[in-house]
Amino acid sequence: MKITDYTLYQVPPRWLFLKIETDEGFVGWGEPIIEGRALTVKAAVEELMEYLIGKDPQRIEDHWNLLYRSGFYRGGPILMSAIAGIDQALWDIKGKYYNAPIYQLLGGKCRDKIKVYSWIGGDRPSEVVTAAKEVVDQGFTALKMNATEELQYIDSHQKMDQVIERISAVRDAVGSSIGIGIDFHGRVHKPMAKILAKELEPFHPMFIEEPVLPENNEALREIANHVTIPIAVGERMFSRWQFKPLLKDGYVDIIQPDLSHAGGITECKKIISMAEAFDVAAAPHCPLGPIALAACLQVDATSHNAFIQEQSLGIHYNVESDLLDYVVDKDVFKYENGYVYISNKPGLGIEIDEEHVKRMATKSVNCRNPVWRHEDGSIAEW
């Protein structure tokens, strides 16, 4: 079997889909994307696919190493996202070739379903109480929300009080049994992160996410020694080599590699297995499309330390199109009592509605992340 061709589709709301074809008729789908940088990732995929045309798609480990190690300059969000989408598509082909879900090729399932959480609020969290009640009424048993708007290195306690008021109201609305993930989104600098994390303790969050930017991970030591809330990080880390010092230092409780950013199924399976050796849980990052989620679920199925899965149904970014619009079987991600069952269909376990993909790819898609500024005019972390 040989790789013969590929096609890239940029589709709303902010996704990039990759289709890889073979001479035996097997087709694989991947989702290589960095939010707001689709055209840049697309160019990287086009460069990398030059290596693979005419090659056997089943040599996934060799192809991964070729795409990664043949570059003198390696890693980073763009190249690792490009590799991720290619890797997902190759695994999809391999599963279809053997008429088996990918998890069977990774050693088989250790679970039949996994808990999922739902986003509430937007980038600037508001009206979260109503949204929290709605998702709980839909059967979700866990939710996540942004904690803050923009914050300066040292900011007012008034902003801290506003955060606490929102979290308190959500906890009162949903009760003590619902998990609440609180995403600092890297917006909070170390001096304020310590204060905010401590103030949040009485509300027993499921975790706090990215309490500081990943380039400031050394600050996790002080935060971890300051509070008892589980700390989750990793959506902006892109390889096992970046996760290695994080795990070795011992100040993280949950890792969140993104299967469309961190080298795909091949790399993230290794990252999550490495975390298991440090008794660290995994909650893969996935505010993206159906291919990314399907890839996550295949790895979740085989990873003992995966405990919850992010998914994007109804997320505030999904304008014009949502998660289920691009799949033929709308029940493939059916959520019941806060869980999603893992598909036993071949490959990624989903069938992409290619005609819909082609229609949506004709639309103008130019997703850009917002630019925030502080009152003094300086750039704020988004």
Catalytic residues: 185, 285
- The answer to whether residues 49 and 30 touch, using CB atoms and an 8 Å cutoff, is no
The 8-class DSSP code of residue 186 comes to T
CA 71 to chain centre: 25
In the structure encoding, which two tokens stand for residue 108, read together?
Answer: 């088989």
- Strand pairing report for 3-11 and 15-22: antiparallel
Question: What are the strands of the beta sheet with 27-30, ordered from one edge?
Answer: 3-11, 15-22, 27-30
- H/E element holding 309? strand 309-310
Partners of 146 in the β-ladder: 183
C-alpha 87 chain-centroid distance: 16
Distance CA 165, CA 258 (A): 31
Beta bridge partners of 21: 5, 27
Rounded distance between C-alpha atoms, residue 70 and residue 228, angstroms = 43
Taking CA atoms, 323 is separated from 153, 248, 288, 314, 349, in Å, by: 36, 36, 8, 8, 15
- Residues with Cβ within 8 Å of 213's Cβ and at least 6 positions away in sequence, in order, are 186, 236, 381
